[in-house]
Amino acid sequence: MKRIYRQLTALALGTMLASQAWAFGGFNLDLNKIISAGKNLSEASKEISEPEEISIGEGMASVLLGAAPLLKNDAIQTYINQVGRYLSLQTERPDLPWHFGVLDSVSVNAFATPGGHIFVTSGLLKKMHSEAELAGVLSHEIAHVLRKHHLAAMKKAGGMGFLTDVASIAVDQKGGGGYAGKELSKNLISGMKEILVRGLDKDDEYEADRMGIVIATRSGYDPYGLPAVLQTLDGLSGTSDVSLLFSTHPAPASRLDTLSGLMQSKFDHYQGQSVSDRFRRLVPNGGNN
Q: Which of residues 139-158 bind other proteins (CB under 8 A)?
A: none
**Residue 171 lies near other proteins (rule: CB under 8 A):** no
Binder of other proteins out of 219, 226, 249, 283 (CB under 8 A): 219
- Figure out which of the listed residues 5, 35, 239, 251 binds other proteins, where binding follows CB under 8 A: 239
Cross-strand partners of 56: none
Distance linking the first and last C-alpha atoms of the chain: 62
User: Does the protein bind other proteins through residue 289 (CB under 8 A)?
Assistant: yes
34 or 71: whose CB is closer to other proteins? 71
Task: Fill in the per-residue mask, 57 to 96: x = in contact with other proteins (CB under 8 A), - = not in contact.
Answer: -xx-xxxxxxxxxx---x--xxx-xxxxxx--xxxx-x--
According to the binding rule CB under 8 A, does residue 22 interact with other proteins?
Answer: no
Nearest distance in Å: CB 151, other proteins: 19
Torsions phi, psi for 120 (to 5 deg): -130, 140
What is the DSSP track for 170-187? Answer: HHHHH-SS---SPPPPHH
Choose one: 7-15, 28-36, 156-164, 211-219; the region binding other proteins (CB under 8 A).
211-219
* CB-nearer residue toward other proteins: 151 or 236: 236
Query: For the CA atoms of 146, 37, 180, 194, what is the dihedral angle to 10 degrees?
Result: -60
Q: How far apart are CA 203 and CA 181, in angstroms?
A: 33
> Applying CB under 8 A, does 170 fall inside the site for other proteins?
no
- CA dist 20 and 13 (Å) reads 11
Of 3-11, 41-49, 161-169, 268-276, the segment contacting other proteins by CB under 8 A is 268-276
Q: Which residues, 6 or more positions from 229, have their beta carbon under 8 angstroms from its beta carbon? A: 124, 127, 128, 133, 136, 137
